[in-house]
Structure 1
Amino acid sequence: MKFGQFEIQTFVEQHFKLDGGAMFGVIPKVIWQRMIPADENNLIPMVTNLFVLSAHGKKLLFDAGLGDTLSDREKKIYGTDGVSHMDKGLESLGLAVDEIDYVVLTHLHTDHAAGAVKQTDGAYVPRFPNAKYVVGRKEWKMALTPDERTSAVYVPERLTPLEDAGQVDFIDKDREILPGIRAVFTGGHTAAHYALEMESEGASVFYYADIFCSAAHMGVAYVPATDLYPLDTMDVKRNTLPRIVDQNVVMAFDHDVNAPLARVVKDGKRLKALPVEQI
């Protein structure tokens, strides 16, 4: 999809499943299952949608998915066979891993960061050899010292090779990565979760990662139980939604099976996401 002088494209890196109750927090199942039906184990289908932005002669990848280095335990947690479509997905866009200039990691949970590395001779190495990995410094520190709640989703040994290779670009606050491409601190889902806001010639695309992880999560109270700071997530959503609707912003949803890109419009008192066809 082209907007202004930019172009954003998407592909599915991997299919997985998570507990529906965990993904909707305090929202009753009788409500959320109307939007995303669960299977007999209460699991709902999800994907890792990855987004490639072409801007200023550069290629930026937003998040890196689950990758192909998951342990058997991680495959069970995420309900996946561990087959990554990273290379095929990039190839479908006419790209290869060595053509990515920036990998922007909104946060470092396994489903967003494990694909940042690959294994060579049993060791983790950066998957994108020519890229700068942009990540929040506070998020990095938390991921390297996980606690009892976060140890299942932060894997330090997958992260340190990125810094050892000198490829990490830490950010400490809102920052313009390139003109019209801004990393915006949100917190909420994690202590140092970031979002991306892109604008070119008056047209905008927002990627708020796990703040708005699917079209079914547009409501302010629709916050996963996995969020470390759910009230902060709600504040961000409450403050951002009017801009999304009023400015006709296209949303990029990281885990939505049916609508990786969508415009959000008012439908009475509710919000409705209208999928955008890729052009």
Structure 2
Amino acid sequence: METLQIGQYSLTWLRGGVTHLDGGAMFGVVPKPLWSKKYPSNENNQIELRTDPILIQGNDMNILVESGIGNGKLTDKQKRNFGVLEESQVEQSLSELGLTPSDIDFVIMTHLHYDHANGLTKLIDGKYVSVFPNSKIIISQVEWDEMRNPNIRSHNTYWKENWEPIIEQVQTFGQEYSIGPIKMFYTGGHSDGHSIFVIEDDGDIAVHMADIMPTHAHQNVLWVMAYDDYPMQSIAAKQKWLEYGLSKNAWFTFYHDAYYRAVKWDADNQLDQVVKRER
């Protein structure tokens, strides 16, 4: 498992599963000859996308960012459609670190699409229950509202088995939310309630833009996904937070990137420092 140190806080990537989605959809209107130079596709035009939560540890807290794709939540047809070749191993990853799901104090959810939220619950004796029973689950109010009342476009990715068992654990916010040096910011864009987070400690900083910059190849502010419900909001938010991070020499971290866990770009927009994913 790869780790990045931000001040006194360690960020460790757990194994949350993998999908393979259409490259054209992941890069929207960007022509394939451009995006494929930065992120390769397979013979079916699919690109590999991890769904790996980040465990943040520091100040006697265990904070999980996203929850992985889960286990036993997808039908065989869904696995084929989403290119799922590996389901979540989050509990095993935690065990390797000497932790259990009960040790997680907070779960930060940037949004609640199935590939981020499936790992919040699991089926035991025919009933869905919370995977992280002692945690506060932090979600923007807009996202929580849409999760429970999805629109015609989003209803296929917001599943009741992912939210009904965790109602009592959810804590929502409007524009900002803080857990020590970790700050969440509502952005919209990819989903109506999408959020990002920034962690800054002892002069180190990491910016996690979640699905408004899902991989290092999406650095161009105009390269947004066809999956984004509000692409102009995605563009504005990415421009704002990219400029912010670059001005502070920040690490940019990823949940979906199959090649890099975190990167820094130099003044010429070239990769300067990277944390590679172990394969």
Question: TM exceeds 0.5?
Answer: yes
Describe the SS at the equivalent of 1:266. Answer: coil
Tell me whether 1:264 sits opposite 2:268 in the alignment: no
Tell me the equivalent position of 2:256: 255
| Aligned match for 1:72, one of 54, 68, 76 | 76
Describe the SS at the equivalent of 1:65. Answer: coil
8 A contact 1:219–1:271 mirrored in 2:
no
Tell me the equivalent position of 1:49: 52
8 A contact 1:145–1:156 mirrored in 2:
no
Tell me whether 1:134 sits opposite 2:138 in the alignment: yes
Distance 2:134 2:91 in 1: 15
The alignment yields a C-alpha RMSD, in angstroms, of 1.6
Distance 2:109 2:94 in 1: 17
CA positional deviation for 1:275? 1.3
How far does the alpha carbon of each residue in 1:24-50 deviate from its partner, in whole angstroms, 9 at most, with x for none? 001100111111221221111111121
8 A contact 2:6–2:199 mirrored in 1:
no
How far does the alpha carbon of each residue in 1:60-88 deviate from its partner, in whole angstroms, 9 at most, with x for none? 00000110122334323311145221112
Tell me the equivalent position of 2:121: 117
Tell me the equivalent position of 1:190: 191
Tell me whether 1:159 sits opposite 2:160 in the alignment: no
Distance 1:71 1:273 in 2: 41
8 A contact 1:104–1:133 mirrored in 2:
yes
Q: Which amino acid aligns with 1:97?
A: P
Q: For residues 169-208 of structure 1, what are the structure 2 equivalents within 5 Å?
A: 169-176=171-178, 178-208=179-209
Tell me the equivalent position of 1:93: 97
Describe the SS at the equivalent of 1:8. Answer: strand
How far does the alpha carbon of each residue in 1:163-214 deviate from its partner, in whole angstroms, 9 at most, with x for none? 0xx21111122121x2211111111101110111111111111111101111
8 A contact 1:49–1:260 mirrored in 2:
no
CA positional deviation for 1:277? 6.3
> What percent of counterpart residues are identical?
32
Q: Which amino acid aligns with 1:205?
A: A
* C-alpha spacing 1:109/1:211, structure 2 compared with 1 (3 Å): same
8 A contact 1:135–1:171 mirrored in 2:
yes
Distance 1:120 1:233 in 2: 38
Runs of 4+ aligned structure 1 residues displaced above 6 Å come to none
| Aligned match for 1:104, one of 108, 131, 138 | 108
Describe the SS at the equivalent of 1:114. Answer: helix
Tell me whether 1:28 sits opposite 2:27 in the alignment: no
Tell me whether 1:19 sits opposite 2:22 in the alignment: yes
Q: Aligned residues, how many?
A: 273
TM-score (norm 2): 0.93
* C-alpha spacing 1:229/1:241, structure 2 compared with 1 (3 Å): same
User: Which range moved further: 180-189 or 151-160?
Assistant: 151-160
Tell me the equivalent position of 1:7: 10
8 A contact 2:209–2:238 mirrored in 1:
no
* C-alpha spacing 1:168/1:188, structure 2 compared with 1 (3 Å): same
Describe the SS at the equivalent of 1:118. Answer: strand
CA positional deviation for 1:272? 2.9
Describe the SS at the equivalent of 2:118. Answer: helix
8 A contact 2:260–2:274 mirrored in 1:
yes
How far does the alpha carbon of each residue in 1:134-165 deviate from its partner, in whole angstroms, 9 at most, with x for none? 111211111112233212211123211100xx
Tell me the equivalent position of 1:168: 170
Q: Which runs of 5+ in 2 are unaligned?
A: none
Distance 1:138 1:273 in 2: 36
Tell me the equivalent position of 1:234: 235
User: Which range moved further: 64-73 or 188-197?
Assistant: 64-73
